[in-house]
Every structure is written in C-alpha cells, then in structure tokens.
Chains A and B, each alone.
Chain A
C-alpha cells in the first residue's frame, strides 16, 4: 500500500482553468503538507494542516486553496491557473511531535 498517494500524477491544462490535486495518507499522521518544486528543483512549503486545521500558509496566492476533509486527506484546488503555476507539487505527512516526514510521488502540473 502506498503511504502517501497523490492524484493525478500528471496534469496538463490551459491558462485560466481551475484544477484540483488530491492527496491521501494511510499512515495515521496528524499533519499534512503541500510543497511546490519549481523548474530548478527548489522545494518550498505552501501549506500545512494539523487535524484538519490550517497551520502554515506561506505567502501563497489566494488562487490556491487547500481543503482537508479529514486528517487523512489534503486536497489542493487552484483557480485561474497561470503559466507560473507549472511545477511539481508534493504532498507530505508527519506525525505531530516528530520529524518523520513521508512524501508522495508528486503531481507534475503543466499550464499551457
């Protein structure tokens, strides 16, 4: 069983569209994250949720809206997609109080 799974793995869409990326973890972790990896491989945190509560929001445009229906899921919805949103988005999870981060395999988003 995949510990942190993301769907879709690849997403190609036109500018201006709205899209969602889904993430699920079966590790029983309390905290989930979204990271963005740009074309130069640089990784930066976007959001974190702990037990469905938003904890970290790192200066991400309002077009990005995370949603956590329960502590095993953290979805990322992006409105009005722009060319600069093209990147690989990684979901991750960790148990509270530890540094045991587990990453998903990533979603490569291409905006054309």
Chain B
C-alpha cells in the first residue's frame, strides 16, 4: 500500500537557519504530493503541493520538488522564522475522484528559536 516516510524529529533551529525536512514515499501509481502544516492548537493547512514529476511547489518561502527517480519530496526553506514553528506533514494522494484520500507521514515538529 501507499506510505510516506519522514525524517525523525523534533528539529530545533535558530532563526534565519536553513531548513530541510526529508520525505520519501511509496505508491503504486503516480501520486500527487503535499506538505501540510499544523500550528499549535490549530488544524491542518496546505502549505504546498506538486502533482507530477519535476513540479516544484512553493509557498511562504517554502519549496519542495517532486523527484520521481528518488521518490522524494523534501521540504526546504532558506531562512526560517520563529513563526514557522509548527508540525509539518508530508502526504500523498494517488487517486482522484470519489475514492481519493490522503496518506500522511508521521509529522515532524519544528521549533525555531530567536
């Protein structure tokens, strides 16, 4: 079945540091890939997505490139801020239509200190 593997956390960085969060996936078809963010006490928000190989999703300074050859979708940001402190989830969906669903990785907690 489908699965998403994220690097182990938590991750603690200083403000303005470079961020990389690794994500790899296993899927039978050609999935769409997502990064979701969950701020403390809140629900999940879509951060970015990519629907086909070599696509780059970007939002709020975060980027991730869909790499089919390495089955990866690593999240990067050049300079993190304290406000980026949250839990980040990598996810995939390999179907559209009525039986679409998201399969999530385990999430990683990012703490950014001033």
Q: Is A68 an interface residue (CB 8 A)?
A: no
Interface pair B104/A44, CB less than 8 Å apart: yes
Q: Which A residues touch B109, using CB under 8 A?
A: 41
Q: B98 to A55, Cβ gap below 8 A?
A: yes
Looking at the complex, which of B14-22, B77-85, B89-97 is the stretch in contact with chain A? B89-97
Contact status A31-B89, CB under 8 Å = no
Interface size of B in residues (CB-CB distance below 8 Å): 26
Query: Given known contacts A90-B43, A99-B34, is B102 in contact with A55 (CB within 8 Å)?
Result: no
| Chain B, range 58-105, C-beta contacts under 8 Å to A | 87, 89, 93, 96-104
Contact B49 A99 (CB under 8 A): yes
Interface class of chain A by DSSP: strand
Whether A105 contacts B34 by the Cβ 8 Å rule is no
Query: Judging by beta carbons under 8 Å apart, are A33 and B101 in contact?
Result: yes
| Contacting residue for B44 out of A30, A94, A98, A103, CB 8 A | A103
Which of B45, B93, B99, B103 lies in contact with A103, CB distance below 8 A? Answer: B45
With beta carbons under 8 angstroms apart, the residue of A41, A45, A98, A99 that contacts B87 is: A41
- The reply to whether B97 and A104 form a contact with Cβ atoms under 8 Å apart is no
How many interface residues does A have (CB within 8 Å)? 29
B101 touches A56 (CB 8 A): yes
Residues of B within 8 A of A56 (CB): 99, 101
- Per-position binary interface string of chain A over residues 60-75, scored 1 when its CB falls under 8 Å from any chain B CB and 0 otherwise: 0000000000000000
Q: A-side interface residues toward B, CB under 8 Å?
A: 30-31, 33, 35, 40-45, 48, 50-51, 53, 55-56, 90, 92, 94, 96-99, 101-106
